[in-house]
């Protein structure tokens, strides 16, 4: 990656009593990416986040955020420029939704007009009507409150958002909706997101890069495609074997678009079928064979168009990579 990392950990170790929670970890998170740290319980994922936010002090190593060393002098400034989403999303019950959303921007003395505009855009992304702004949290459903909790973290337009297992307590449908909401907001605002989960499928859906964490170390840090097809050790392989994405037919369509296999305008002479970006390749062969092209949507926006040729080029590139690996 060419740009400077927004988070850089160099040789960081964290110890609790006799327990090494992070073991000589080096890690870089780059601007605008969604980096997912995934791994089983106790591997050290949360400790990595807590260390980056200054809640846990490493016994050795260096951390910088936005080019600033993470130390006592910079800590407040660094924290104010981070957004957090935790598993327990709790809104202030005695404040309206608007007050909940504007609290942080006000603490940061951000101008009112642009903040109001951002809040409008976030409410639209979360599919929440604007008249909800004057309601209290108890007047919203649980799912709506969750959505407010997510967009609240983006209200100050922080360059960096830390998300610690934000959806793991939810039912599968709500989880999927909030994953989509997060992806849509990321596409709109282009923040950097460091996202933690123990769910491999969530990691594959959310991550542009995935780091597999075990025993306080990152065993492999690669694109989802690379991790699934070319795990660099037995642990990573086992972890992702059960995931749904290790077969070509389970590749998400939005991945093809984001990797540049489609185009931004429709192909001439082909009928258009609109399809969600989290549909997989396997569902598309029939549609493409019928002389259609796919308009791939993320939330309400078409992010690109794929035709049969785009899909073939993707499959050919995959096959070539596999060949290279086996010779």
Ligand X SMILES: Nc1ncnc2c1ncn2[C@@H]1O[C@H](COP(=O)(O)OP(=O)(O)OP(=O)(O)O)[C@@H](O)[C@H]1O
- Beta pairing class for 60-65 and 68-69: antiparallel
Nearer to ligand X (CB atom), residue 21 or residue 160? 21
Nearer to ligand X (CB atom), residue 198 or residue 205? 198
Nearer to ligand X (CB atom), residue 175 or residue 198? 198
* Closest separation in Å from C-beta 176 to ligand X: 20
Contacts of residue 109, Cβ cutoff 8 Å, sequence gap at least 6: none
The total number of residues written for the chain in this structure: 327
* Closest separation in Å from C-beta 319 to ligand X: 36
* Closest separation in Å from C-beta 214 to ligand X: 9
* Closest separation in Å from C-beta 297 to ligand X: 32
* Closest separation in Å from C-beta 248 to ligand X: 30
Sheet containing 68-69: order of strands:
19-29, 7-16, 60-65, 68-69
Nearer to ligand X (CB atom), residue 43 or residue 207? 43
* Closest separation in Å from C-beta 238 to ligand X: 17
> Assign residue 2 a region: left if phi > 0, alpha if psi is -120 to 50, beta otherwise?
alpha
Nearer to ligand X (CB atom), residue 44 or residue 54? 44
* Closest separation in Å from C-beta 34 to ligand X: 18
Bridge partners of 195, per DSSP, are: 36, 163
Nearer to ligand X (CB atom), residue 3 or residue 41? 41
Nearer to ligand X (CB atom), residue 170 or residue 296? 170
* Closest separation in Å from C-beta 227 to ligand X: 17
Nearer to ligand X (CB atom), residue 125 or residue 206? 206
Give the binding site for ligand X (CB under 6 A).
16, 19, 21, 39, 41-47, 198
SS in 3 state form for the chain? Answer: CCCCCCEEEEEEEEEECCEEEEEEEEEEECCCCEEEEECCCCCCHHHHHHHHCCCCCCCEEEEEECCEECCHHHHHHHHHCEEEECCCCCCCCCCCHHHHHHHHHHHCCCCHHHHHHHHHHHHHHCCCCHHHHHCCHHHCCHHHHHHHHHHHHHCCCCCEEEEECCCCCCCHHHHHHHHHHHHHHHHHHCCEEEEEECCHHHHHHHCCEEEEEECCEEEEEECHHHHHHCCCCHHHHHHHHCCCCCCHHHCEHHHHHHCCCCECCCCCCCEEEEEECCCEHHHCHHHHHCCEEEEEEECCEEEEEECHHHHHHHHHHHHHHHHHHHC
* Closest separation in Å from C-beta 191 to ligand X: 22
Nearer to ligand X (CB atom), residue 33 or residue 164? 164
């Amino acid at each position: 990656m060419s740009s400077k990392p927004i988070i850089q950990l160099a040789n960081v170790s964290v110890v609790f009593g006799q327990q090494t929670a992070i073991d000589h970890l080096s890690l870089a998170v780059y601007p605008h990416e969604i980096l997912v740290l995934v791994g089983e319980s106790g591997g050290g994922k949360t400790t990595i986040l807590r260390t980056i936010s200054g809640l846990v002090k490493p016994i050795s190593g260096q951390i910088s955020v936005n080019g600033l060393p993470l130390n006592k002098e910079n800590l407040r400034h660094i924290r104010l420029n981070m957004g957090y989403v935790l598993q327990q999303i709790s809104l202030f019950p005695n404040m309206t939704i608007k007050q909940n959303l504007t609290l942080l921007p006000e603490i940061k003395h951000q101008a009112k007009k642009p903040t109001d505009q951002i809040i409008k855009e976030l409410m639209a992304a979360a599919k929440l009507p604007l008249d909800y702004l004057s309601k209290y949290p108890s007047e919203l459903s649980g799912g709506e409150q969750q959505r407010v909790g997510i967009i609240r973290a983006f209200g100050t337009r922080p360059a960096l958002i830390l998300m610690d297992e934000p959806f793991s307590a939810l039912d599968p449908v709500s989880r999927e909706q909030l994953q989509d909401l997060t992806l849509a907001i990321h596409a709109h605002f282009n923040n950097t997101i460091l996202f933690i989960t123990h769910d491999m499928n969530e990691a594959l859906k959310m991550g542009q890069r995935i780091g597999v964490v075990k025993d306080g170390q990152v065993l492999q840090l690669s694109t989802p495609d690379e991790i699934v097809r070319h795990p660099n050790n037995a642990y990573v392989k086992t972890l992702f074997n059960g995931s749904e994405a290790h077969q070509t037919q389970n590749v998400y369509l939005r991945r093809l678009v984001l990797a540049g296999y489609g185009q931004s305008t429709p192909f001439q002479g082909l009928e258009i079928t609109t399809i969600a970006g989290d549909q997989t390749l396997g569902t598309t062969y029939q549609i493409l064979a019928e002389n259609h092209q796919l308009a791939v949507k993320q939330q309400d926006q078409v992010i690109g168009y794929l035709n049969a040729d785009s899909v073939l080029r993707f499959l050919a590139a995959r096959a070539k990579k596999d060949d290279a690996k086996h010779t």
